[in-house]
Amino acid sequence: MVLKYLKSSFILNSIRHRARFKHSWIQPEGSHVNLQLYNCITRQKENFIPNNKDAVSWYTCGPTVYDSSHIGHAACYVRLDIIQRILREYFGINLVTCMNITDIDDKIIKKSKDTKTDYKTLVQQYENEFWQDLNSLQVPKPDIVVGVVKNMPLIIDFIKKLETNGVAYKGSDNSIYFDVSKAYSTYGKLQNIGDYLPESSNPHKKSPVDFALWKNIKDSEEPTFKSPWGFGRPGWHIECSTLASAVFGDKIDIHAGGIDLRFPHHENEEVQSCTFHRKKQWVNYWIHTGHLHLKGALKMSKSLKNTISIQQMLNDISANEFRILCAMSHYSHPMEYSNELLETPRNVLKVYENFINTCEDIENGHIKPTLDSNQLNAIISKSFQEVNRALCDNFNTPLAIQIFNQSINRLNAMIYSASTDRGIINNMYLLLAFKKFLCSMLNILGIELKQSSHQEHDDSTKVIDLLIRFRQEVRTVSLQEKNKELLTACDSVRDSLKEYGISVKDHGKVSSWSR
């Protein structure tokens, strides 16, 4: 017993030393992309260099399907979807995505027992619900979806090879464990874990940092699978290593998940996969999203029983508004959620919709502003350059949104400062170029704007246009004659139209409207 303790202490001290001083990152060989990603191994941003520019691999750790998904999951998967869209649609990268579904796990077994429901029925119910939730959030299904149970033979073969490589051993509980001290690559690459390694752990393991590859059967009533080591089921970490390797092989461009997965899950994935493939590096870039938490609370999790389901959330906020909320904070940062904060993305989205409608009013001749070409060129050129710089800098979507907000404020001020009676508006094409840029960026963020109200309701639009022009003429005369009674009547018309979802804005002597 004393010998085992001394050996365990030696291993822990050795890992602490290596975790602090010997982690290293190998820069991939390939074509550079004008993009920098934060690298948790080097603790700084690095140039993104895919292994194959024509086929970039992305693996995401999917859910353990034992309960309804909550808005913490929603924030993670929406943020990752935004990044994937930027890679595909902005940088033109041919991205292939894969996600696993954990369909056998301690939590699934417990829920199955508690509800007296067959675990397969339970898994199917919550997996179907998960995909429905993602669809509600405008998150498309990954290109490849892989489950654990159907791929059990692959997992067993993966463990057998680790056993052949001399890094797997049988514990005193007949479970199979990974021996971290014999790993092919350094342990502790992804996170500075030197001060956080456990001093005590499962007594069946050689070292506290070793982890289960195959769990021996504990209860005759729980689901089990036949293996060379007896009946049991795989450990959590081995599932992702096996499935990701089966799809993408011995090197992956991007591996993503929540920040809570970085250690120990992703760390264990990396060390066992490097050992399996006999390589010093398996994943080139790790992307981790920050936690979502309720205002004044810790992170949201099922275990803390402070969750809000995705469908509950969508009763208070639209998918578009939630996606804007996610894009307004950096993907790697924590994200706060409260009813008060929901107003911000709602207002931002309304500003964008109103600006687009205003541009359509100008296209259709309803508003005839005087547009200064020098100012327009300066605003548009600056916004293009700064948005590009933001997206190339580790997907800085909050800065990109801030740039759009500032540009739209300046353009609105120009549009409503003066009008003209000319039939064709000078420099209108510059304004419409910015509108197209905005629409394309909203599309990249996964914002599904409704079809233009002018196109949907052509007849009603003509009637509303006639009413707004008449009101504008009455209001102009009232302002000139300082007729408070008529001005009050104009305000009454404006307020009444609000009840029908029509917003009227007065800009000096010019009025505009939007739905």
Contact in structure between 368 and 352 (CB atoms under 8 Å): no
- The verdict on whether omega for the bond into residue 264 sits within 30 degrees of 0, i.e. cis, is yes
Hey, what amino acid is at 213? L
Q: Residues 456-470: pLDDT tens digits?
A: 445 676 788 788 889
Mean pLDDT calculated for residue range 137-142: 98
Q: What does the alpha-carbon distance between residue 366 and residue 461 come to, in Å, rounded to a whole number? A: 11
Contact in structure between 406 and 387 (CB atoms under 8 Å): no
- The full DSSP string for 228-293 is TT-SEEE-HHHHHHHHHHHHHTT-EEEEEEEGGGIIIIIHHHHHHHHHHHT-S-SEEEEEEEPPEE
State yes or no: pLDDT of 16 exceeds 60.
no
For residue 459, the model assigns a pLDDT of 61
For residue 1, the model assigns a pLDDT of 45
- For 216, residues 6+ apart whose C-beta sits below 8 A from its C-beta are 173, 174, 175, 229, 230, 231, 232
Of 173-177, 290-294, 322-326, 411-415, the poorest mean pLDDT is in: 411-415
Query: 422: helix, coil or strand?
Result: coil
Q: What does the alpha-carbon distance between residue 434 and residue 432 come to, in Å, rounded to a whole number? A: 5
User: Helices in 22-151 by DSSP H: which ranges?
Assistant: 71-85, 106-115, 119-136
State yes or no: pLDDT of 78 exceeds 80.
yes
pTM of the predicted model as reported, rounded to 2 decimal places: 0.86
Start-to-end CA distance of the chain, whole Å, equals 76
261 or 427, which is more confident: 261
Residue 453 carries which DSSP code?
H
Q: What does the alpha-carbon distance between residue 223 and residue 205 come to, in Å, rounded to a whole number? A: 23
Contact in structure between 73 and 60 (CB atoms under 8 Å): no
Q: Residues 474-490: pLDDT tens digits?
A: 998 889 899 999 899 99
Q: Is 116 left (phi over 0), alpha (psi -120 to 50) or beta?
A: left
Query: What are 44's strand-pairing partners?
Result: 39
Query: What are 39's strand-pairing partners?
Result: 44
For residue 451, the model assigns a pLDDT of 56
Domain ranges of the chain: 2-45+53-292+305-315, 344-449, 453-515
Q: What does the alpha-carbon distance between residue 479 and residue 199 come to, in Å, rounded to a whole number? A: 79
C-alpha distances in angstroms, 428 versus 347, 362, 411, 440? 26, 8, 12, 18
Contact in structure between 214 and 175 (CB atoms under 8 Å): yes
- For 296, residues 6+ apart whose C-beta sits below 8 A from its C-beta are none
Contact in structure between 380 and 414 (CB atoms under 8 Å): no
Mean pLDDT of the chain: 89
C-alpha distances in angstroms, 80 versus 73, 99, 174, 435? 11, 12, 39, 26
Q: Residues 380-406: pLDDT tens digits?
A: 999 999 999 999 999 999 999 999 999
For residue 58, the model assigns a pLDDT of 98
State yes or no: pLDDT of 120 exceeds 90.
yes
For residue 13, the model assigns a pLDDT of 55
Output the furthest CA–CA distance in the chain (Å, rounded).
Answer: 100
For residue 22, the model assigns a pLDDT of 52
Q: State residue 139 phi and psi, 5-degree precision.
A: -105, 115
Mean pLDDT calculated for residue range 220-241: 95
Architecture (CATH level 2) of domain 2-45+53-292+305-315: 3-Layer(aba) Sandwich (3.40)
For residue 346, the model assigns a pLDDT of 94
Mean pLDDT calculated for residue range 141-162: 98
For residue 245, the model assigns a pLDDT of 98
C-alpha distances in angstroms, 507 versus 236, 367, 415? 61, 11, 9
